[in-house]
């Protein structure tokens, strides 16, 4: 691992959803660190738990979901280590939106149709008392819109969401997230509703802001092109577990876990040339009754008896590169993070 300090540390996180059909064991003991000034990506197929994990960091899990156990430690600017899962709602509100901001997947749903963009950016600053009054809030909202490269920000600050294009809505949502100069941005598929040229602009913008402000970005995506372009380190998720975690280049060039290998053969890999894409046999398991042992075992061509009974621990195979697979832990031994 680099000499960078951790900003968010997630340890042994479990999240369940209590549905009429049964208890969905959505997150099953997830652990990772996001470091100062890095972009850390959570990747995997739909339903693997990346969005739930990211929402659990700031306790945005809604009923019927529940965080069962674990720790989410935030290393604040003033040197405190705070377990976000133990804060009162009021204490958490002081951190959420100010020090840790969340950019939601669907900008249209994230914006309130009844208020102007300036009002919605200003409201976050008013709430966290980073401005003294609404006059200052509107002035700063114009500045925020300039930062996110919104065309004609003086005019756009007075417009309503329905008057904006998809790219402008996404810039506004990023603007709300950035308004209090957060230390951490959690961006959940921030460009999935945008066309490719706007996607590239938004990503370039996030990269620039990260560099200028030494921000930590936790990026949730299924798009491997984005991962290759944006990420320093990657955690690959499958059925509520992290199965492989390491530096982006190592994961792309030398994927080790059978699921990561299958995933990278199934999607266009920007760093290697694969002639033909392959699908992953089988289906994502039902997490009401997840497979025992390694949750990937029904789809894994290398599964052995032990895989069906015991969950593999994460093992460090090279500095900062962790794999949770019995084939590897049999060779290496010991647990990692």
Which parts of this chain interact with ligand SF4 (CB under 6 A)? 258, 294, 296-297, 300, 302-303, 307, 312, 325-327
DSSP 8-state assignment for residue 61: P
Per the CB < 8 A criterion, the answer to whether 44 and 222 are in contact is yes
Length of the chain equals 337
In the complex, least distance from residue 296 CB atom to ligand SF4, rounded to whole angstroms: 5
Q: Are strands 81-83 and 65-75 parallel, antiparallel or unpaired?
A: antiparallel
d(CA 303, CA 326): 9
Taking the complex as a whole, the smallest distance from the CB of residue 88 to ligand SF4 amounts, in Å, to: 40
Measured from the CB atom, is 72 or 315 closer to ligand SF4? 315
Q: Regarding beta strands 184-188 and 100-103, do their DSSP bridges make them parallel or antiparallel, or are they unpaired?
A: parallel
Give me the least distance between CB of 105 and ligand SF4, in Å please. Answer: 29
Judged by CB, which is closer to ligand SF4: 137, or 239?
239
Q: Do residues 314 and 337 lie in contact, with contact meaning Cβ atoms separated by under 8 Å?
A: yes
For residue 229, the surrounding DSSP H or E stretch is helix 224-230
CA dihedral 26, 32, 36, 41 (to 10 degrees): -60
Nearer to ligand SF4, 121 or 323 (CB): 323
| Least distance (Å) between residue 46 CB and ligand SF4 | 20
Q: Which is nearer to ligand SF4, 155 or 331 (CB)?
A: 331
104/176 Cα distance (integer angstroms): 11
CA distance 252 to 248: 6
Work out how close the CB of 258 gets to ligand SF4 at its nearest, in angstroms, rounded to a whole number: 4
Cα dihedral 79, 84, 86, 88 sign:
positive
Of 94 and 311, CB closest to ligand SF4:
311
Beta strands in the chain, from DSSP E residues, in sequence order: 6-19, 22-35, 39-43, 65-75, 81-83, 100-103, 184-188, 216-221, 233-238, 241-247, 314-318, 321-324
Instruction: Report, in Å, the least distance between residue 312 CB and ligand SF4.
Output: 4
Q: Is the CB of 7 or the CB of 327 nearer to ligand SF4?
A: 327
The smaller minimum CB distance to ligand SF4, of residues 55 and 297, is found at 297
Instruction: Mention every residue, 6+ apart, whose C-beta is less than 8 A from residue 321.
Output: 244, 245, 246, 247, 250, 251, 256
The least CB distance from residue 44 to ligand SF4, in Å, is 14
Find the shortest distance in angstroms from Cβ 244 to ligand SF4: 10
In the complex with ligand SF4, which residue's Cβ is closer, 111 or 325?
A: 325
């Amino acid at each position: 691992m680099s000499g960078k300090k951790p900003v968010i540390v997630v340890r042994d996180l479990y999240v369940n959803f209590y549905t009429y059909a049964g208890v969905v064991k959505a997150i099953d003991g997830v652990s990772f660190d996001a470091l100062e000034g890095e972009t850390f990506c959570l990747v995997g197929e739909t339903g693997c738990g990346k969005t739930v994990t990211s929402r659990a960091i700031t306790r945005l899990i809604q009923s019927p979901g529940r965080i069962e156990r674990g720790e989410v430690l935030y290393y604040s600017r003033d040197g405190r280590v705070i377990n976000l899962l133990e804060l009162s709602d009021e204490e958490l509100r002081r951190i959420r939106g100010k020090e840790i901001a969340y950019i939601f997947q669907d900008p249209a749903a994230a914006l309130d149709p009844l208020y102007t963009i300036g009002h919605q950016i200003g409201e976050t600053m008013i709430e966290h008392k980073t401005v003294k009054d609404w006059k200052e809030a509107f002035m700063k909202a114009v500045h925020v819109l300039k930062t996110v490269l919104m065309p004609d920000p003086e005019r756009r600050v007075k417009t309503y969401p329905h008057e904006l294009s998809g790219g402008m809505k996404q810039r506004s949502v990023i603007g709300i997230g950035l308004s209090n100069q957060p230390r951490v941005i959690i961006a959940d598929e921030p460009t999935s509703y945008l066309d490719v040229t706007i996607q590239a602009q938004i990503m370039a913008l996030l990269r620039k802001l990260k560099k200028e402000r030494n921000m930590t970005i936790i990026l949730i995506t299924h798009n491997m092109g984005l991962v290759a372009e944006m990420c320093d380190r990657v955690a690959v998720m499958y059925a509520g577990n992290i199965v492989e975690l390491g530096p982006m280049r190592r994961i792309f060039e030398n994927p080790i876990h059978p699921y990561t290998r299958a995933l990278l053969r199934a999607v266009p890999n920007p760093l290697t040339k694969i002639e033909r894409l392959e699908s992953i046999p089988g289906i994502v398991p039902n997490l009401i009754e997840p497979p025992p042992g390694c949750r990937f075992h029904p789809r894994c061509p290398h599964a052995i008896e032990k895989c069906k009974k015991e969950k593999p621990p994460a093992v460090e195979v090279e500095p900062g590169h962790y794999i949770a697979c019995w084939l590897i832990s049999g060779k290496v031994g010991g647990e990692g993070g």
